Amino acid sequence: MEKKPFYITTPIYYPSDRLHIGHAYTTTIADAAARYKRLAGSEVLFLTGSDEHGQKIQRKAAEQNVAPIAYVDKIVDSFQQLWEKLNISHDDFIRTTQQRHHDVVQAIFQKIYDKGDIYKAAYEGWYCTPCETFWMERQVVEGKCPDCGRPVEIVQEESYFFRMSKYQDRLLAHIESNPDFIQPVSRRNEMLNFIKGGLEDLCVSRTTFDWGIPVPFDTKHVVYVWFDALTNYITAAGYLDDREKFAKFWPADIHLVGKEIVRFHSIIWPIILMALDLEIPSKVYGHGWLIMEGDKMSKSKGNVIDPVALIEEFGPDAIRYFLLREINLGMDGNFSREALINRINADLANDLGNLLHRTLNMIGRFNGGVIKAAGDVEEVDHQLAQLVQNTVIQYEKFMDVMDINAAIKVVWALISRTNKYIDETAPWALAKDEAKHSRLNTVLYNLAETLRIIAVLITPFMPVTGPKIWRQLGLNTDFKAVTLEDIKGWGKLSAGIVVSKPEPIFPRIEDKVVEAAA
Ligand code: ME8
């Protein structure tokens, strides 16, 4: 059956500074979801990118005495290198300074203006430059931004306004009749309360700086950076230049974002789309924050962890695994070096690494490296095969709703059970007795078959390790062509394959590293 195409996005990050592990967190989740959908047979559009305009970037560039574009070019380059190191499989990387995006922003601004939903008026109010957000008097807390706590500035300019208020009731009705649109439910309730408090028209142009996309019919104005940024999601889907692609992928299946920008994605963005008579994305998921010592990790607080250094030290798969396993998607989670090392040692070196090592080692020693056809079967073998197939079903169920954490847990429960299966069946004892070699062949076959299936299941999380296990099992078929269908139904592994010598996939990290960090 032809699967539905799948369109997933991350926020487009500000190239005001290099990215930290918080950004890598969002992008890794989106990557795991995109890889899973490809494995399940869907055509996928996975988009990430950079949000390059606005006052904050212009100021940063000025501080360094360089043109804004030169400033962002360098940082965007570091984004792309990071995604490569982390094995992010995005299909497109959008930069808001690209011509394709410039054209779309101007076209939609004009369209909404022509329709009468954008109008000119005087603006006087508060602005938080780090968040690029306008605030009303009643929202400002003692001269500070209610989101980030930094001082706001007064801005007075003639601006264009977007008639958000006109769409308030329609948006409310949409959220109420689509319970899954904003997730998790805590964010949904927050947004419902926000809208019920009354939506004001939004200021969508600025005149006090020029690093932005000019308003097409009044070029001393540049388009407000959030109006510009949100539009990236339709630019990359081909809104203006590829009707066929747009029909295939729009509306997006999921905008994955951090919880602090759910408001922009679930209020401003749907209203822009309503004004354009376009469909609203199926889901906005606001995940929690990575916390360091009780505080949100952020560039301005200076408590950030550099993902590049971590990848160099531990490898991309260990970092990806940790981010996906340790933190529950909707909740905040602590990042600590100690927790990372504990996960690597317990889950990767011990559970997964040992299972692979023991299996290959025994096939090598007892059967000359050949995976022989299964012989005598006992109840314990049926149980293992049943568990493997149930795991695949559970895994799909969880991955389909992006409960990556739960999907990982079921795979690791299987890994644990399979290690126990080795202890219970004691292949070393079977090997000693000629009469039991048929049993031995069954046990070793079952281990190899289970590992083959595990290799596929873990690939969305660990795209280096999955294929490594595949190759060590002696499978020469193109791993990229493998789909979930190949692991449904027990016993698809052919007998007669020659496995490699075991190579450690995750060496244990010695405790002294943790001690040194403490
Ligand atoms: O907001 N924990 O860009 P940005 C988890 N350009 N995730 C974190 C995080 C943390 N401590 N810190 C950052 C912008 N993130 C806009 C987006 S989209 C049309 C425009 C992640 O560079 C998380 O996804 O400030 C958060 O929403 C995003 O980075 C903010 O990135």
> How confident is the model at residue 303, as a pLDDT?
77
Tell the residue nearest (CA) to atom 12 of ligand 1.
Answer: 22
Please say if the pLDDT value at position 412 is more than 70: yes
Expressed in angstroms and rounded, the spacing between residue 19 Cα and the centre of ligand 1 is: 9
Q: Is 491 left (phi over 0), alpha (psi -120 to 50) or beta?
A: left
Tell the residue nearest (CA) to atom 19 of ligand 1.
Answer: 230
Give me the helices (H) in 224-315, please: 225-230, 232-235, 243-249, 262-263, 269-275, 307-314
Expressed in angstroms and rounded, the spacing between residue 263 Cα and the centre of ligand 1 is: 13
Across all residues in the chain, what is the average pLDDT? 95
> How confident is the model at residue 2, as a pLDDT?
65
Q: How confident is the model at residue 514 (pLDDT cuts 50, 70, 90)?
A: low
Q: What pTM was estimated for this model as a whole?
A: 0.95
Please say if the pLDDT value at position 398 is more than 70: yes
> How confident is the model at residue 298, as a pLDDT?
72
Per the annotation, does 203 bind a ligand?
Answer: no
Q: Which atom of ligand 1 is nearest to the CA of 26?
A: 24
Distances (CA, A) of 94 to 13, 55, 58, 100, 290: 10, 20, 19, 9, 25
More reliable by pLDDT, 7 or 135: 7
Tell the residue nearest (CA) to atom 28 of ligand 1.
Answer: 258
Return the structure tokens found at 465: 């390790």
Please say if the pLDDT value at position 513 is more than 80: no
Q: How confident is the model at residue 293 (pLDDT cuts 50, 70, 90)?
A: confident
d(CA 104, CA 121): 24
| Preceding amide of 281 cis, omega within 30 | no
Give 436's DSSP letter: G
Tokens 């947004």 locate to 191
> How confident is the model at residue 124, as a pLDDT?
86
Expressed in angstroms and rounded, the spacing between residue 409 Cα and the centre of ligand 1 is: 27
Q: pLDDT tens across 165-212, in order?
A: 999 999 999 999 999 999 999 999 999 999 999 999 999 999 989 999
Beta carbons of 56 and 129 less than 8 angstroms apart: yes
The CA dihedral of 318, 14, 175, 406, to the nearest 10 degrees, is 0
Angle, helices 354-367 vs 437-458, to 10°: value is 150
> How confident is the model at residue 517, as a pLDDT?
52
Lowest-confidence segment of 21-35, 288-302, 490-504 by average pLDDT: 288-302
Return the structure tokens found at 180: 């899954």
> How confident is the model at residue 296, as a pLDDT?
75
d(CA 463, CA 257): 23
Ligand 1 pocket by C-beta < 6 Å: which residues? Answer: 11-14, 22-23, 25-26, 51, 229-230, 257-258, 260-261, 289-290, 296-298
d(CA 237, CA 232): 9
Q: Which atom of ligand 1 is nearest to the CA of 288?
A: 5
Expressed in angstroms and rounded, the spacing between residue 179 Cα and the centre of ligand 1 is: 24
Per the annotation, does 148 bind a ligand?
Answer: yes
Q: 95: which residues sit within 8 A by CB, 6+ positions away?
A: 49, 50, 52, 72, 76, 101
Q: Which of 18, 20, 26, 264 to mutate to test the pocket of ligand 1 (most atoms within 8 A of CB)?
A: 26
Per the annotation, does 131 bind a ligand?
Answer: yes
d(CA 425, CA 13): 52
Considering just the CA atoms, what is the radius of gyration of the chain in Å?
26
* Residue 9: closest CA among 76, 72, 74, 93: 93
Cα atoms in the Cβ-side hemisphere of radius 13 Å centred on 360:
23
Per the annotation, does 145 bind a ligand?
Answer: yes
Q: pLDDT tens across 239-266, in order?
A: 999 999 999 999 999 999 999 999 999 9
Expressed in angstroms and rounded, the spacing between residue 11 Cα and the centre of ligand 1 is: 6
d(CA 373, CA 306): 48
Expressed in angstroms and rounded, the spacing between residue 30 Cα and the centre of ligand 1 is: 13
d(CA 165, CA 199): 5
Q: Which of 9, 10, 23, 93 to mutate to test the pocket of ligand 1 (most atoms within 8 A of CB)?
A: 23
Helix (H, G, I), strand (E, B) or coil at 211: coil
d(CA 359, CA 446): 10
Give 151's DSSP letter: B
d(CA 467, CA 290): 29
Return the structure tokens found at 72: 């962002």
What pairs with residue 323 in β-bridges?
A: none
Tokens 């804004």 locate to 68
Q: How confident is the model at residue 516 (pLDDT cuts 50, 70, 90)?
A: low
Task: Indicate the pairing of strand 118-128 with strand 133-135.
Answer: antiparallel
Tell me the percentage of the chain whose pLDDT exceeds 70: 98
Please say if the pLDDT value at position 511 is more than 80: no
Q: pLDDT tens across 25-37, in order?
A: 999 999 999 999 9
Expressed in angstroms and rounded, the spacing between residue 115 Cα and the centre of ligand 1 is: 32
Q: Which of 257, 262, 298 to mutate to test the pocket of ligand 1 (most atoms within 8 A of CB)?
A: 257
Q: pLDDT tens across 86-112, in order?
A: 999 999 999 999 999 999 999 999 999
